[in-house]
Amino acid sequence: MNRASCAARLSLLVLLLAGPASASWQDIPATDFSMTAPPAPGSPASDRDYEQLLKLQAERKPDQCSAAAAEAIPDFPSLFGNSGILSKAEADAVAPFVGTASKFLSKVSGYFKKKFARPRPYNVDARVQPCIDKPSGATSYPSTHAAAGVFDACVLGRLFPDRAGILASHGRDAGELRVVAGVHHPSDVAAGQELGARVCERLLKENDFLSELARVKAALP
């Protein structure tokens, strides 16, 4: 057997012994997560959703509607980029990584939105009148804004532990504003917040995600 052939066989043996390459955290399927179904139409839980929506609608203030309108897209720039919690330099430094992570979260949330296909509250009850532009998506459960708010805050809290509390509070507020604005049921937001927390918890157990997180943190201004 010539030297080239021996080298090729040795390389193949190394690959076989190493086993399959680990999947990237971005490739984790949405089906790895689970969610309970939304309240059934006409159920007591559904009725409570509408009672709360109408109560908040009667009490909401213009500044709450303005805040919700400013966070129209459930991504890092919209929810946290102009929050004032991070400096512009800090936001710019983490945007690529957190933005990619947010897209993964949106993929998972989108899977469940399609699965449950719950209509927006204003498409069911004409008394619900949103004070912001109606979202382009017609499905409501879970709230991706609520999921992204909690998820992004969880990731950012690892990068800026001195501001973890205010980041978490801001992230939860992003979801709550969707109910005040009349574009989500309260149970959509609760489910989204739970999903965001579970997705973050899962990714914080993935070695490649933790490695990327560490590199971003080490490069912070």
* Closest residue by Cα to residue 143 from 177, 100, 95: 177
Domains along the chain with CATH numbers = 3-218 (1.20.144.10)
In the chain, the amino acid numbered 87 is: S
One pLDDT digit (tens) per residue for the chain, 221 residues: 455 444 444 443 333 333 334 459 999 999 999 999 999 999 999 999 999 999 999 999 999 999 999 999 999 999 999 899 999 999 999 999 999 999 999 999 999 999 999 999 999 999 999 999 999 889 999 999 999 999 999 999 999 999 999 999 999 999 999 999 999 999 999 999 999 999 999 999 999 999 999 999 999 99
The reported pTM is 0.88
Q: Which residues contact 85 (CB under 8 A, 6 or more apart)?
A: 163, 166, 167, 170
* CB of 202 closer than 8 Å to CB of 176: no
77: preceding bond cis by omega (within 30 degrees): no
**Which phi-psi region, left, alpha or beta, contains residue 103 (left: φ > 0; alpha: ψ -120 to 50)?**
alpha
